[in-house]
Structure formats: C-alpha cells, structure tokens
Structure 1
Amino acid sequence: MRIIIPVLCAALVAALPAFDDQATFSTEHDGFSLDLQEERLLEFANGQRSVVTELEKIRLKAAGIKFLDITDTPDLGKFAHLRLQSKPSFPSPNATEIVEPILKTLSTKGPQENLRKFTSFRTRYYRSDTGKQSQQWLLSRISEVMPITAKYASKSLQHIISVQEFPHSWGQNTIILRINGSSHDEDGVVVIGAHQDSTNMWPFLPAPDDGSGSVTILEAYRALIAADFRPVRPVEFHWYSAEEGGLLGSQAVATDYEARAVNVLAMSQFDMTAWVKRGTREEVGIITDFVDTDLTDFNKKLVTKYLDIPYVETKCGYACSDHASWRKASYPSVFTIESSFENSNKNIHSTNDRIDISDEFSFNHMLEFSKLAVAFAVELGSWKSL
C-alpha cells in the first residue's frame, strides 16, 4: 500500500511545476531508462518513511523537499550503535611542512580542461545514456586511458593505487580510487567524496551542471600523487552516482562498507565549490547541521590554517549531499560548500548551471577547496617516510 505524507502532498500542490500529462506519464524517452510509476521507499528528516512513485519522487525534489531514497538500502545504519561506542578524536592540524608545498602545485588548468568536457554531456542524470557515458569518461580520465595516474604518479606509487567501479543497477557506476596505506584498514580509512551526476528539475531536460565538486577532488588527487603521497592510513576518493536521486550511490557504498565492518575514520564531501555571488565576500561554507561536530571543528581548523579565505558556518538541511549517507551509519562525516547556503549557486538543476554563464563562477575559488581536500588527506591519512 502506498502512503503519502499529507504535509508533503500539500507542498507539492503549491510548489510543483505543471508537466504535460502525456510527457509526465510516458516512459518512452530516447536515452533514458526510467519507469515513472516504479515505487520507491523514501525516508525524511523526521524519520518517517513513505512509498511513492518515481514521478512523485521527482516532484518532491522539484518542491525542494529533501529525502533519502532507501529502496535498495533500507538497513543502512543498523550497526551504527557500535561505532558510537568508540568515537574517534581529531587532533589539531600539524603537517604544515608537508601540506603547504603541495598546495603550491595546485592549478586551474586541469579543472578547466576537465569541466569543459564534463559539462558537455547533455545531462549526467544517472538513468540516462549520457550519464553512463560521462561516468565512463571520468573513469578514463582518472585511470590509465587518459592518464592522470600514469602521468603524475611514480611507478612505485602506481602499485599502491587502485581504481574500480562500484556497480549500480541503473548503469551509472560510482568510482572509487584508493591509495593504499602502510597500516591496516583497522586504523581507519579516509574518504574524500563528490557526486558526478546531474539533473534538471524534470530529468529528461538538459542538465550540464557545473560539476565543480568532482573536478575539485580530482585536482587534489593529481597534486597528491605528483608529490608522491604515501599515506599511513588508506585514502580514498569517491565519485558517487545518483546523488540527485536521493543519495543512492553513496548509500550503496556506505551500506557495503558497514556490512564489511570497514573502519572509516572520516569522510569529507565536496559539492558546489565554484560560485562566488556578486557583491559578497569570498568564503568557505562549513555545514553545521547533520554532520559530525568534532570532525567539523577539525575542518574549520584546516580552513584557517591552509586556505586564503575564511569560513562561514551555514546549514543545508537533511540529506542535502552524500555525507548524509555516511552519517546515517554513524561514520564521522562533514560537508563543505562554496559559500553560505543562501549565497550559493541558484542555477542548479537547470540549463543555466554552466561554467560560462556568469563571472560568479570562479576556478580560483574552486582551488581553495582543492587545498582543503589535500590538507584533509595528508593530515588524517598521515605520510609514510620512505
């Protein structure tokens, strides 16, 4: 039996765009694999769960109502109580002599080149053909086909780097890149994440999406391996699929890690890192709701120590990006965004979310977030002396 939360229905009536009836209920769209009548199980901020159709899910997102789509991962967090019993602590940053030389090697050249291609796909929607193609391009860019790893990593470092696809039923896979550490996983894995997919409010429309988070962490990875980074703890870079569908990809990964009892020491999410609203101060938005407090304090210290701009505390609500999947499993997670939430890019989920639409899009601003990703990896992953 399908249950719709009454308050959500009222919000939908008031806020949803009026889609053409024939287009709304048709599943015959070239290049898409999407059944609008498929039932999905959603979870909302108050913990209430509701079964809705895929079409109703799309409408909820268009209305700005945040949720987790837990259809495939209803048990995520079932072992969360075990992690709460042994919560890690995070020391003050102290690897300045290692981090700062790496920061000087960061460049806007790679991000500009990568985004020109990444935003050229009509949409990176996770159930579209171009969404699959964009994921495969990103995978090839990271791995040896278009060799960021082969070009910048020493031969010996390449032996401790692995890249794999985490498969999903919808076809656009999550990408997981791992730099093995000298210690065992029991000492903790450090995760740096971003989502690779995009969507328009109506998924069949174009959605270039500026893709800033994805290339932000890619540039951080490039700088780290160029510096021959050899962590003590394993450091992983994740490019999640289907964030726009209700954090589907990151939930699947977090569920897998939880089932295998992987000790994730810390997870940092990068999503929207390039926008500086005209007339505002350039700053880093530190999300303070639905995150780990201690890791957030550590993140603030990294900004103060290593970045050239200040941070501002801000909130984004329940399930606003992939860090929420890890938080649900009680893994320490944080989220950093391009500004205060109210000053962030308002062109998202539209055809205007492009890198060339406004001088408010800044590659230099994006590099500040690459600095943060580098510092997060080195400070928490540590550095093995050869």
Structure 2
Amino acid sequence: MMNSILSAVVLLTLTIPSYAAPTSASAKLYTIETAPGVTSQVTEAQKWELKKQGTNFLDITDYLDVENSIFEETLAVSYPTSIIHQEAVDPLNAQLSKANLRSTLETFTTFNNRFYKAQTGADSSAWLLGQINALIAASNATGASAKPFAHTFVQSSIIATIPGLSNSTIVLGAHQDSVNWDSDDQINARAPGADDDGSGSVTILEAFRVLLSDPTIASGQAPNTIEFHWYAAEEGGLLGSQAIFNAYQTEGRVVKAMLAQDMTGYIQGTLNAGKPESFGIIVDYVDAPLTEFVKIVADAYTTIPYVESKCGYGCSDHASASKAGYPSAFVFESAFEDDNKAIHTANDTIDKLSFDHMIEHGKLTVGFAYELAFAQL
C-alpha cells in the first residue's frame, strides 16, 4: 500500500525533494506519474524520498510509449445487479480458516523483508509460489496452474489461473512486497509487512484455496476464467502490476474485472475513532459500475458494513489495471484515514491485526470471484 498521508489529494504540481541526492548527469532518471498525464522525472533517491513523504505515483519509466487508457477507453462491462449463487458461496465461505491465515502470515513475515530488490524479496516470492502450487496439488483442479512472472528486478510476481470456458478473466490481486521507509537501507531493513500487504496476500490465498474446492470451478466449467495475482514491487511504483496489465493489453487479453485487496487486517484505528468495524470501499479512480457490484457482494456475503473512502491516484495495484483499460475496484480494511500507521516500518506486525476482519475480506473475495465467474459479462 502506498502511504496515505497525501493520497486524498491529487497532486497536480509535484515538489521534488531538494535534499542531497545524486545529481550527476549519469544518474538514472525515472518518470513517475502522480495524476493522469501528470509526470515528473526523478532520481531513484528522490523516488524513495517522495514515498517516505507519502506521495502516491506510478513509475512509468518502462511504459512511456503505452497509451494512457485510464477512464478514457476502459472496457465497458455490465455487472449483475444482484447475487444469485448464495447456495454455493455460503458453504465455501464457511471453509475460510483463521488458523490458515495466521499460519501463512506468520511464515510470510519471518522473511527479513520482502523488498523487491532484496534477495529476501525473491525468496519470499518463491516460498509463496510453493504454497500456491501445494494448494493446487491438494485440490481436484487439474487445469489450475501457477507461475512466476519475471521482472528486471529479483522479485517475481505470481499468477495463478483457474481456467473457465472462456478467456474472459476475473482478477483478484494483492501485492506481496514490503518495505521499511524509516530506513535508508531498504535492502537490509526489517520490514515484516504483516498488514501491508501480507494481510491481503494471505487473504486472497485462502480464498483461492476455498474456490479450488468447488467442483464446477475446479473442473473448469465456470463461464469465465479466474486469476489470482500476487504483485511484486508495488512499493516501487506499482511496477509488478503495471508489467502484467501492460502485457495483457499488448496480448489483447480480456479482463472483465479486477479487485485489489491491499491491507485487510487492521481495525484498531477505526475502533479508536469510535466507529464500527467496516470495509473501506474506494470510490476514486476506480470503475464505478464494478464498485457498485462490490457493494452488493459486501452486503450479501459479509457481516460488517462498508464506508466509502478515497485514496488518491496510484494508491495501489488496481491503478495499473485501470491505466491499461481494465475495470478495477479496491477494498481497504477501513476508511482510509483510519489506516495502520505502523506500515512501512519494522512495527507492521501480526499482533496489530484482526483475523476475524481478514475472514470478512475473504468472504467478499470468494463471493466476488464466484458471482463473476458465472456471470454473463
């Protein structure tokens, strides 16, 4: 998750940090986008300083020749106006396990960090891929598969696919990387990333496990294909998700919906503010019809309310899908102003999280995936 300090405001004018940073002519410059079509060139050190200040952006250095599709050519999709698969989904949601969430997250956070340029970022990604493949092997989903998506940095993204009868695809995504912006040494600094975004990563992993147990989905008989994505390098400027969705755009892939789950476990900020536990359904820079469908799913399959919230441009990986022309939505653990202030530090730890809350996000994920897997879109 990109820091939320400045995310409520779209930055039309970007102030580049003036601290001591590499300024030689040989220093590599990166192009970042802080609002649709608003770009600046910065050094890597300046990128990191902007991140520390809480500035959201997409690092589009590798995609300067890609047309900006956001909100201009987004695929038009008509989503269901009600849920119709509750008899199938409710038993699946009953299988979601807090013990599984905790066990997986405990191991995931033992890596010193999951920074995308660190060896531990590569190691944690390989471990996660092993967990995904183990779930597939334990299921009857003979057509399901998982593979790494390689990047120019050491951490790979991961794509798990449950084929359907068509290539129309529903994507559930979370980012796997973590970072410590308190330190000047991201390669070696401790960054457990329990909430950001270990919580989202294990939430969609548990939803993936449960969906594999459904005979119709496991046998490839759902009308639409389901993919689960675990993105690398979200903290570096949505690098992993941009690479995937730009590749999909180039290949002519049809993605009918993308739901991001970035931070699913922290509720104490909400409770401290005297508010009831809730989801934060993001309503800025998202696909409005898909977001309305997310609200229908939340009402039908979860036991907590939702509030509308905003996080600004480029605040998480759904922005990469939108920029590539694919409808996207984003569900957060709370209203954005009540977020976990320990993220991006060594203190983003499991003890701050509610696994009951993560189960609610899991229910929403399963319901979203199942309803759209069988929808005529």
Q: TM-score, normalised by structure 1?
A: 0.85
Residue of 62, 69, 73 corresponding to 1:72: 62
In structure 1, the residue matched to 2:131 is: 141
Amino acid at match of 1:191: V
Q: Any unmatched runs of 5+ in structure 1?
A: 26-35
* Cα shift readout 1:154-188 (whole Å, capped 9, x = no counterpart): 1xx22x10111111010101100000002x21xx2
Q: Provide the rounded CA distance (Å) in 2 between the counterparts of 1:111 and 1:298.
A: 26
Q: Does residue 38 of structure 2 align to residue 39 of structure 1?
A: no
- Alpha-carbon distance, 1:80 to partner: 6.5
- SS in structure 1 opposite 2:159? strand
Q: 2:83 aligns with which of 93, 96, 109?
A: 93
Does 2:3 correspond to 1:8? no
* Equivalent residue number for residue 155 of structure 2: 172
| Aligned-pair CA distance for 1:311 | 0.5
Shift of 1:50: 1.4
Kindly report the root-mean-square deviation, in angstroms, between the aligned alpha carbons of the 2 structures: 2.2
| CA shift for structure 1 position 324 | 0.2
| Alignment correspondent of 1:289 | 284
User: Mind listing any 5+ residue stretches in structure 2 that lack a counterpart?
Assistant: 1-10
SS of structure 1 residue aligned to 2:331: strand
**1:330 Cα deviation (Å)?**
2.1
Paired residue total: 347
- The within-5 A match list for 1:1-386 is 8-9=14-15, 12=17, 37-45=27-35, 47-77=37-67, 83-84=73-74, 87-91=76-80, 92-143=82-133, 147-151=134-138, 153-154=139-140, 157-158=141-142, 160-182=143-165, 184-185=166-167, 188-201=168-181, 202=183, 203-204=186-187, 205-210=189-194, 211-230=198-217, 231-277=222-268, 278-279=271-272, 280-356=275-351, 358=352, 361-382=353-374
Cα distance in 2 for residues equivalent to 1:104 and 1:220: 11
- Read off the aligned partner of 2:261 and give its amino acid letter: F
Task: Give, as a single letter, the amino acid of the residue that structure 2 aligns with 1:207.
Answer: A
What is the CA deviation profile of residues 11-56 of structure 1, one whole-angstrom value per residue up to 9, with x for unaligned ones?
A: x46xxxx8xx7xx77xxxxxxxxxx943211111152211111100
Q: Relative CO higher for 1 or 2, CA cutoff 8 Å, sep ≥ 6?
A: 2
Cα offset, 1:257, TM superposition: 0.4
Kept in 2, the 8 Å contact 1:198–1:209? The answer is yes
The 3-state SS of whatever aligns with 1:8 is coil
Could you tell me which amino acid in structure 2 is paired with residue 181 of structure 1? G
Distance 2:85 2:226 in 1: 16
State the TM-score, normalizing by the size of structure 2.
0.87
Residues 43 and 68 in structure 1, CA contact (< 8 A), matched pair in contact too:
yes
SS of equivalent residue, structure 1 residue 44: strand
Task: Give the AA of the match of 1:309.
Answer: I
Quote the sequence identity (%).
44
The change in CA–CA distance for 1:169 and 1:303 in structure 2 (over 3 A counts) is: same
From the superposition, tell whether residues 108 and 328 of structure 1 become closer, same or farther in structure 2 (CA, over 3 Å).
Answer: same
